[in-house]
Amino acid sequence: MAAVLFALKIWRSYLYGEKVQVFTDHKSLKYIFTQPELNLRQRRWMEFVADYDLEIAYHPGKANLVADALSRKRVAKDTEKDMEGLIGMIGSLRLNVLSDETEPLGLGAADQADLLSRVRIAQENDAHLVSVAQNDKAEYQVSNNGTILVNGRVCVPSDKSLREEILREAHQSKLSIHPGTTKMYHDLKRYYHWNGMKRDVAEWVASCPVCQQVKAEHQVPGGLLRSLPIPEWKWDRITMDFVTGLPVCDKRDVIWVIVDRLTKAAHFLPMCKNDSAERLAELYVKEIVRLHGVPASIVSDRDSKFAGKFWRELQKKFGTKVNMSTAHHPQTDGQSDRTIQTLEDMLRACVLDWGERWTDHLSLAEFAYNNSYHASIAMSPFEALYGRPCRTPICWTQVGERSILGRDFVQETTERIKVVKAKVKESQDRQKSYADKHRRDLEFAVGDLVYLKMITYKGKDPALMSSKLSPRYIGPYKILDRIGPVAYKLELPPTMFAFHKVFHVSMLKKCITSRDTVLPSGPSDLQPNMSIAGKPVKVIGKKKKVVKKKCIKMLNIVWDRDGEEEVTWEPEEVMKVHFKKWFGKQVKAKKDDGSEDESN
């Protein structure tokens, strides 16, 4: 509309008192005169337009060629002069007409090239090729420089080193940069010919170490779903995990989630992330062992608290088997993750409805979770655990008092456990059928070489981020042993001593080796979370940022990520935690220089 007003002002002397038609590709503009409500700017526009007999009509943009062409940016005069000079220079060039010969484009100009010279020499030394070329002149030709051609393409003799040199140039040079099989084959067959070229190209690309490390896999993940065995009794086998990242409330910022694998009953225990393993053991005995006895097994991830010596020794004395998931495979304890997701949603709702102190709502959230219907057992966890659901305001009449004694009580409890186990088995079978549709069976043998998948990104934490151009896979590494149906133990180099050596099959990729492969030692800065950490170089600025009425000190950090510099703003507290030594050196250097800290 601003363009319409501008045009009316410019050509007012011609348009005043005349019938004016405006064509525009802005369709909604035609309804501005009948629009029921106008803002202040639109009212001013209408006052100005009232002096004219104006009609706005819609004209599609594709058909509005004249106005579209006039609206394009003109080429600068200097550019026009450069173009005129370029056209004049092209016109002054000498034109040559190429003769109609059957040799590839540029072959004569590249006659002195080392590769083509080697091909020609190899052709001369191949008596069989020379004989065939002389007898079959319909398919074979000889160019002016003596190169034997097949249908216009250079015929490469059966020389392994020569063919590998051609394949290497077509795949690994800076002018090709690792194309795929189809691209590389079509690029090569325009100029070269030999029997079995397509097979050789496919094998070369498949066995390229760089391609195997950097190219994405377009296949479903490997490893079919393996369900955990169904427990025989209540609270016999449990899973546990932590909910982290919560706001601090009553000096608590973590929830310890413990779930029974049979009845799906759960306990939510608030704690502090800095609590020691001794504190965990105290909570465990008080809230789990006191109420349900000592479990036969525990499934958990590889959290430092669970992997610590104290926790493992405690469970060993209890006679409990600790089953930890393989590295970077959280699906092992999917039950805890699903329970955590439900718990987080419940706490979000509580915070919105009744206040921000999540610790005040945690006990009722545990009750609501355990007293609600669970699809995998077709009843609530309380009903599976105690034989009936607990009383709530919506079911006072349904849940009454009744006496079950002796044999009837034992029989009803046993029958209910049978029903729960059958429902869990049915649920596991259903989940496996769904999951295996998007997975494939993948197996390796002991002694095979495999690549290990890297976790390229790990959130926004600067200590866990890695370069976008980091390889997707590292290795290859040798398989030492098969641990169960879908896990393998790898022979990792000494630089990766902090890694757990057992990995799920979905983290591995078969190494194809038709050439000599040197086992690497692994990146020196590879982190146990399968990422390459950036290295802070220096601080170039400071500022204060207010978030939720809290003042946070921010540092402008220059990072070195695989030789490339990157500048980001990071919280000072985060840098102190993850880069303690480096931060201490920065503070000491500033004190030696006598500079003051602007953030204080």
Q: State residue 595's pLDDT score.
A: 47
The helix (H) or strand (E) run that includes residue 67 is: helix 65-70
What's the rounded Cα separation, in Å, for the pair 496 and 520? 11
What's the rounded Cα separation, in Å, for the pair 215 and 130? 41
- b/e map of 527-557 (b: 16 or more CB within 10 Å)? bebbbbbbebeebeeeeeeeeeeeeebbbeb
> What are the strands of the beta sheet with 535-547, ordered from one edge?
535-547, 550-561, 564-571
What's the rounded Cα separation, in Å, for the pair 324 and 240? 10
Q: Give the pair of three-digit tokens for residue 263.
A: 């009845």
Q: State residue 258's pLDDT score.
A: 92
Q: Is the pLDDT score of 177 beyond 80? A: yes
CB 324 within 8 A of CB 306: yes
What's the rounded Cα separation, in Å, for the pair 468 and 456? 7
Q: Give the pair of three-digit tokens for residue 552.
A: 């946070």
Q: State residue 565's pLDDT score.
A: 67
What's the rounded Cα separation, in Å, for the pair 26 and 135? 72
The helix (H) or strand (E) run that includes residue 34 is: none
Whole-Å CA distances, 438 to 325, 441, 510: 21, 10, 19
What's the rounded Cα separation, in Å, for the pair 303 and 257? 13
- In tens, the pLDDT along 319-356 reads 888 888 876 777 777 888 888 888 988 888 888 888 77
**Of 248, 252, 242, 167, residue with least CA distance to 211:** 167
**Of 391, 369, 383, residue with least CA distance to 267:** 369
- In tens, the pLDDT along 503-524 reads 888 888 888 876 555 555 555 5
> What do you get for the CA distance between the two ends of the chain, in Å?
53
CB 305 within 8 A of CB 280: yes
Q: What's the average model confidence in pLDDT over 564-568?
A: 70
Number of H-type helices and E-type strands within the chain: 21, 19
Q: What's the average model confidence in pLDDT over 20-33?
A: 83
CB 239 within 8 A of CB 261: yes
Confidence of residue 183 (pLDDT cuts 50, 70, 90): very high
Confidence of residue 464 (pLDDT cuts 50, 70, 90): very low
Contacts of 415 (CB under 8 A, 6+ apart): none
Q: State residue 202's pLDDT score.
A: 92
What's the rounded Cα separation, in Å, for the pair 502 and 481? 9
Q: State residue 267's pLDDT score.
A: 93
Q: What's the average model confidence in pLDDT over 150-162?
A: 87
Q: Is the pLDDT score of 106 beyond 50? A: no
Q: State residue 281's pLDDT score.
A: 87
Contacts 24+ apart (CB under 8 A), 7-15: 8/48, 8/49, 8/52, 8/54, 15/52
- Min mean pLDDT across 171-185, 284-298, 409-423 is at 409-423
Cβ neighbourhood burial of 191 (10 Å; 0-12, 13-18, 19+): middle
- In tens, the pLDDT along 249-297 reads 888 889 999 999 888 999 999 998 888 888 888 889 988 999 888 888 8
pTM: 0.57
Contacts of 382 (CB under 8 A, 6+ apart): 265, 370, 371, 388, 389, 390
Q: How many CB atoms lie within 10 A of CB 246?
A: 16
Residue carrying structure tokens 């020389």: 159
- Higher-pLDDT residue of 93, 393: 393
Q: Is the pLDDT score of 108 beyond 50? A: no
**Of 243, 302, 308, residue with least CA distance to 503:** 302
Q: What is the CA radius of gyration of the chain?
A: 37
The pLDDT > 90 percentage for the chain reads: 6
